[in-house]
Amino acid sequence: MSSDIGSIRSSSTVLAEGVFQGIQGAIYGAIWGLVTPFHVPGSFGAITEAKTGLFQAARPFSSITAVGCNAAIFGGIMGVQSLSSKALELARRRDDFFNNLFGLGVTYKYYTFFLGSSDKRLITHNRIIGAGAVISILYGHLIV
């Protein structure tokens, strides 16, 4: 649904929309992390796969670390897409599909830089997203 005038009126709304979509993505990622066949980077299963070169699927519900890892990945992707799309909507004062295309481009670069390049960057990314989630929760409970 598109309109001539954007629905985003302030930067706090943009930030709130980005956080909301990030949390929603984290929930999707956590569910995927419960049943994913892929091992978490740096885990024993991932190291074994790298050494042997053979893919061996992880069993469902086999690793609780996969929940946090996938939650951070999905949450980061959805948060960045929403934040960039809504920020452009605020800047342009228009709600149309160009905002979503811009969000797609920003998310692609985000993915290739942080998530698709190396395990070290992926682990650092997940730690930053986790710290941001903890800070958001503390801010919401202690300051607001």
Q: What secondary structure does DSSP assign to 118-137, as a single string? A: -HHHHHHHHHHHHHHHHHHH
Cα–Cα distance measured from residue 144 to residue 138, given in angstroms and rounded to the nearest whole number = 9
pLDDT at 68: 85
| Predicted confidence band of residue 144 (pLDDT cuts 50, 70, 90) | low
Burial class of residue 29, CB neighbours in 10 A (0-12, 13-18, 19+): buried
Structure tokens belonging to residue 32: 């995927």
Domain residue limits, the chain: 23-143
| Predicted confidence band of residue 140 (pLDDT cuts 50, 70, 90) | confident
Q: Model's pTM, two decimal places? A: 0.77
Say what percent of the chain tops pLDDT 70: 95
Q: Tell me the three-class secondary structure of 90-104, residue by residue.
A: HHHCCECHHHHHHHH
pLDDT at 27: 94
Cα–Cα distance measured from residue 41 to residue 125, given in angstroms and rounded to the nearest whole number = 12
99, 86 Cβ separation under 8 angstroms? yes
Cα–Cα distance measured from residue 27 to residue 12, given in angstroms and rounded to the nearest whole number = 23
Q: Give residue for tokens 């909507």.
A: 89
Average pLDDT, the chain: 86
Mean pLDDT of 75-87: 93
Mean pLDDT of 35-57: 85
